Structure 1
Amino acid sequence: MNPSSSRLPITCSVEKLQQELTICENDLWTPHFNTNRYEGNWTSVSLRSQSGLVNDITSFSNKKYINTPLLDRCHYFKEIMDWFKCEKEAVRLLRLGPNSEIKEHTDNDTSYEDGFFRIHIPVVTNTDVFFYVDKKRVLMEMGECWYADFQLPHSVENKSSEPRIHLTLDCLRNEWSDRLFEEMGFDIHFSSNKNQYSEEVKQQIIAELMQNPSEINAKIIAGLQSK
């Protein structure tokens, strides 16, 4: 079995990350649509989304994604994206507010074995942020790049008085990433058993999407109902 989380052999400039964060601070940070998954304040802004809008923060596989206008102003974020020689889906900044919590949950089809990998790069964080994957605490320092298998149970608690902000990249597996992950000690031939959303979770997501009618949400609902 492959590691539940692993640090990548790349380190980003914290100074440049935080400089680009200031460019994004005045944009529309949108609360996460699944309000049952968190307590407090959990918001996001998109650098790459399905619609090309910064407030389109949904992340679903097998969809077409395009850059948002915000990315055009964030040259260092673009440089980081270009380091990953693979197709990118959603690229977002995720902000968990002070004294806020993302409850333990799983995200379907988000393990490397499923052909997908999500990268987390802490832009602002501290030692009072507790990030757990498969019941194990993952200590992520600012500027580091981390992969985690988010198909496993995971949660985050920000016990500090400051926000925790990560740059996240949703990437699609290819030959380049296979070489990278193999160098990191992964068995790239390992296969996992895929899970599906439970009917209860699916209905919760649909109900929350219906509270915010839009063409994008209607397509997501249709996709969920067809499964």
Structure 2
Amino acid sequence: MTAATTTASETSTGLPAAARLAATFDPDRLRAELTALTRDDWRRQRTYSEDGASEEYAADWRVLPLRSPGGDERRTDAGGPGPLPFAATSWLARAPYLAEIIESVPTSVRAARLMSLAPGASVETHRDTPLGFPYGMLRLHVPIVTNDGAILVLDGEVHRWQPGTFWYGDFSRPHSIANTGTSNRVHLVIDCAITRPLFDLFPPGFVDALGVADVLFERPEIPLALPERATFRCAFALPEDFGHWSGEAFGDRPSDTADRRATVEEQPNGLVLDDGTASAPIALVHVGGGEFRLQGWTDERSLHLDRHRRVARFIIRTGSSWQVTERETTPLPASHR
């Protein structure tokens, strides 16, 4: 364990774009586990859209997922709302030190991936959204191997993070990566929810400047008893914009799209949201008071079902700001199960 330091220039947000976190890891153990995994099937990085379609990056940027939706070893993306929670892949069992690092993060971890940028490869400037303190999810990095020609340009500043260090980066800001060296650049990339214990890893000055009123903290799941689940079964018109979870909230898209019929159904493992467009319904996680977040997502997006008024409220949060729209609900008949 080492003292944490803050780096990167101040921006209009009042926070640096990156901060070194209060932990260090053994570079030799990291390299040894990476060597043991390099013979496996590293797939090219892909992005996934709401309809399940995927697009492969042109750059030689490869991923070995250690945690993914349902433990799916084919998923190289960061995930999104879906039927299954994030789970370990078989590769994590073969990497006990990496598993120990992931387990040490004091919050719930979503995706954890080994990401390798080949020599001569680069990824153009882009933003990763929704990501950051107002959206309830952070991206952390542990460099494993690198070289002097491997750089991250984050919000205009060049970074060369060294093996065994631990970093937070605000990747909702413009950033790019490039590897002009002769060896791969490999990082462990961890996506996680935000809890107060997580702040213990950050430099004190960073936390003091943050302003927790605009941080979206994770709320714990509050399981529903089996008889109570059935009382939430209903149908309603789902606002088209609510299904666009790739960083765009209400008002960020054209409003000429139509609602579509959706239902909240009961399945053996719990309640699901089904709008008929996804390959599988999205599981719902109860966070209290009849409010549900989407499985695989943060509290950035939730559905509140008021059974007494027969109203569904669709909520999108950004820090302390809320956007809410309502639709009437209709209870589903028992024969609909």
TM class by shorter chain equals 0.7 to 0.9
1:68 maps to what in 2? 89
Normalized per residue, which structure has more helix?
A: 1
Match of 2:76 among 27, 48, 57: 57
| Residues 158-185 of structure 1: CA deviation (Å, up to 9, x unaligned) | 0011111001111110121134336252
Higher relative contact order (CA 8 A, sep 6+): 1
- TM norm structure 1: 0.80
Q: Which residue of 2 aligns with 1:10?
A: 23
In the aligned structure 2, how far is the partner of 1:162 from the partner of 1:219?
40
Counterpart of 1:100? 121
Task: State the secondary structure of the residue aligned to 2:122.
Answer: strand
- Please list every run of at least 4 consecutive aligned residues from structure 1 whose deviation after the TM superposition is greater than 4 angstroms: 34-39, 217-220
Q: Secondary structure at the match of 1:104?
A: strand
Aligned to 1:126: 147
CA contact (8 A) 1:100 1:157 kept: yes
Deviates more, 1:83-92 or 1:18-27: 18-27
**1:84 Cα offset (Å):** 0.7
Structure 2 counterpart of 1:79, from 69, 78, 100: 100
Partners of 1:196 and 1:40 lie apart in 2 by: 25
Contact 1:28/1:55 (<8 A) preserved: no
1:181–1:188 Cα contact (<8 Å) kept: no
Give distance in 2, aligned partners of 1:156 and 1:219. 34
- Number of the residue aligned with 1:177: 198
| Deviations 1:131-165 (CA, angstroms, capped at 9, x unpaired) | 01111112201111111011111100100111110
Gaps of 5+ in 2: 1-13, 48-53, 216-245, 254-277, 282-293, 295-315, 317-337
Bigger fraction of residues in strand: 2
Seq. identity, %: 26
Partner of 1:110 in structure 2?
A: 131
AA aligned to 2:35 is T
RMSD: 2.7
2:48 is equivalent to residue 27 of structure 1: no
1:127-142 alignment to 2 at 5 Å?
A: 127-142=148-163
> Does the 8 A contact of 1:91 with 1:167 survive in 2?
yes
Give the 3 Å change call, closer, same or farther, for CA 77–167 of structure 1 in structure 2.
same
Structure 1 equivalent of residue 212 of structure 2 = 189
Which TM-score applies when normalising by structure 2?
A: 0.55
For residues 219 and 120 of structure 1, the distance between their equivalents in structure 2, rounded to whole angstroms, comes to 31
Residue ranges of structure 1 left out of the alignment (5+ in a row): 200-216
Q: Secondary structure at the match of 1:47?
A: strand
